[in-house]
C-alpha cells in the first residue's frame, strides 16, 4: 500500500487498525520481537499526534506561502478524488503532518535466493503482505542483513506515503510534498484507492488496482484542469524502464524453474543482472540522450527482492484497464466489478485477471511500451 517509486521502484504500504499496541504492531509488519512492537507503536502514535487540518493551515497567513500553495493543490485533488473518482469521502488527506524527514518508513522485502516470490508477512487481521515496515532505517537494515545471513535476498525501500485503509484519518505528509504537482495528486488517488478496495493476502491485486485508479484518475484530474498529461517523453521512459525490468524478471523466473545445479543457477542469475544493466545503459545512452534518472537504482546491488515491487504494482494494470472499459468507464460500476473479482477464490481470480489482460492486448507491461520502442 505504499508508494515509493517512480524514479525509484516502490514497495508496499503497511496496514494499521485503530487500536494501538499489539494490533498496530501486527499490522505494520509483525511483532516477532518486543522491539518491533515498540517502534511500530511509537511511530504510529507520533504520526497521529502531528496531524493538523489543512483548511486551518490555509487560513493562517503566517504559514509559508509555498507550503500553503502545495496544500491548496493537494486539497483540490483530494476533493476531486471523492467528487469525480468516487473514492471514499472522509478526512484522510484533509489533514497535514510535518514529519520533518524525507522518508516516513522503510519496507524490507525478502525472497529466496532462487525465487521471485516474496517471503510473506502474515498477520491475523491484515492478512499476508510482501514486506515488513520499520520507522527506523537502522532497524530495517538490520532485518535485511539477517535475511541475507540466512541465504535470502533482501532489499530496503523508502516509503513516503501510506494508507490505513480508512481506519484512521490518514494525513498528507510533508514527505509527499517532495513530489511535483502531478505526482502529488497521483499518490493521493493511489492511497485512497486502497481505502476503496483492499484484499487481504493479495498484494499484487491491491497494488495493481490502486495503480490503475491512480493513473486513470490522474488523466481525468489533468483534463479537468485543462493541463497537459504527464510529459509523453517522461511517461514513455518510465514505461520502457519498467518493461526492461519485467523482461528480466520473466527470464529469471524461467531460470529458477530450470532446476540447474546451484552453482550454475547462481552464475546465470548474476549474468542476468549484468544483462539488465547493459540493456539499461544502451537504452539510456542511445535512446534517452543520457537521461540518468534511474542510474542510482540500477547501479546499486541487484537481487530478486529489489525486483519485487515491479511485479506488485504493474502486473494487472492491463486487466484493470480492460475492466474499466467493460464497466463503461463508470467508476461505480468499475469498483463493483473489482470487488466481485476480489471475492473469487485465488486461482479463479487469477484466471479472470489473466483473461482480462489478454483481452486488453497486453499480457505484460512490456507490450504497453511507447511507439518509439526500446531499440
In a domain, 85, yes or no: yes
Give 107-137 pLDDT, tens digit per residue.
999 999 999 999 987 655 556 778 888 888 9
pTM of the model: 0.80
pLDDT number for residue 285: 96
Q: CA-CA distance, 32 to 254, in Å (whole number)?
A: 34
What are the phi and psi torsion angles at 249 (to 5°)? -55, -45
Q: CA-CA distance, 139 to 259, in Å (whole number)?
A: 35
In a domain, 37, yes or no: yes
Count of structural domains within the chain? 1
In a domain, 345, yes or no: no
**Cell numbers representing residue 17 in the block:** 487498525
259: left (phi over 0), alpha (psi -120 to 50) or beta: left
In a domain, 121, yes or no: yes
In a domain, 38, yes or no: yes
For residue 135, the enclosing domain spans 22-179
In a domain, 132, yes or no: yes
CA nearest to 46, candidates 88, 101, 128, 7: 101
pLDDT number for residue 22: 29
Stretch among 32-36, 72-76, 160-164 having the lowest mean pLDDT: 32-36
Give 242-268 pLDDT, tens digit per residue.
889 999 999 999 999 998 999 999 999
Tell me whether strands 172-173 and 95-97 are parallel, antiparallel or unpaired. Answer: parallel
Instruction: Give the pLDDT mean for 54-64.
Output: 96
**Cell numbers representing residue 227 in the block:** 493541463
In a domain, 239, yes or no: no
In a domain, 317, yes or no: no
What average pLDDT is seen over the chain? 85
Amino acid at each position: 500500500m505504499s508508494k515509493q517509486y517512480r524514479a525509484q521502484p516502490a514497495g508496499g504500504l503497511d496496514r494499521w487498525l485503530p487500536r494501538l499496541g499489539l494490533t498496530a504492531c501486527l499490522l505494520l509488519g509483525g511483532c516477532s520481537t518486543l522491539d518491533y512492537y515498540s517502534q511500530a507503536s511509537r511511530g504510529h502514535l507520533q504520526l497521529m499526534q502531528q496531524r493538523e487540518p489543512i483548511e486551518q493551515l490555509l487560513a493562517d497567513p503566517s504559514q509559508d506561502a509555498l507550503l500553503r500553495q502545495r496544500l491548496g493543490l493537494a486539497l483540490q485533488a483530494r476533493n476531486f478524488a471523492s467528487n469525480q473518482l468516487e473514492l471514499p469521502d472522509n478526512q484522510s488527506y484533509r489533514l497535514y503532518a510535518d514529519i520533518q524527514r524525507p522518508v516516513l518508513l522503510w519496507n524490507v522485502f525478502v525472497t529466496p535466493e532462487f525465487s521471485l516470490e516474496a517471503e510473506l508477512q502474515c498477520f491475523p487481521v491484515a492478512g499476508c503482505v510482501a514486506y515488513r515496515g520499520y520507522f527506523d532505517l537502522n532497524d530495517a537494515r538490520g532485518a535485511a542483513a539477517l535475511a541475507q545471513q540466512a541465504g535470502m535476498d533482501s532489499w530496503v525501500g523508502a516509503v513516503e506515503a501510506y494508507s490505513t485503509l480508512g481506519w484512521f484519518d490518514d494525513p498528507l505528509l510533508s514527505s509527499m510534498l517532495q513530489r511535483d504537482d502531478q505526482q502529488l495528486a497521483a499518490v493521493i488517488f493511489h492511497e485512497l484507492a486502497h481505502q476503496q478496495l483492499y484484499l487481504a493476502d493479495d498484494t499484487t491485486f491491491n497494488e495493481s488496482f490502486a495503480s490503475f485508479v491512480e493513473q486513470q484518475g490522474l488523466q481525468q484530474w489533468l483534463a479537468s484542469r485543462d493541463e497537459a498529461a504527464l510529459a509523453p517523453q517522461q511517461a514513455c521512459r518510465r514505461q520502457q524502464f519498467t518493461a526492461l525490468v519485467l523482461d528480466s524478471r520473466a527470464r529469471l523466473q524461467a531460470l529458477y524453474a530450470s532446476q540447474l545445479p546451484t552453482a550454475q543457477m547462481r552464475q546465470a542469475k548474476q549474468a542476468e543482472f549484468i544483462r539488465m544493466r547493459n540493456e539499461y545503459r544502451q537504452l539510456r545512452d542511445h535512446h534517452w540522450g543520457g537521461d540518468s534518472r534511474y542510474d542510482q537504482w540500477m547501479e546499486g546491488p541487484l537481487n530478486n527482492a529489489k525486483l519485487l515491487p515491479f511485479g506488485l504494482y504493474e502486473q494487472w494494470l492491463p486487466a484493470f484497464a480492460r475492466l474499466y472499459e467493460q464497466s463503461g468507464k463508470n467508476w461505480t460500476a468499475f469498483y463493483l466489478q473489482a470487488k466481485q473479482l476480489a471475492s473469487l477464490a485465488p486461482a479463479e481470480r487469477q484466471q479472470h485477471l489473466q483473461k482480462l489482460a489478454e483481452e486488453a492486448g497486453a499480457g505484460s507491461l512490456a507490450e504497453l511500451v511507447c511507439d518509439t520502442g526500446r531499440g
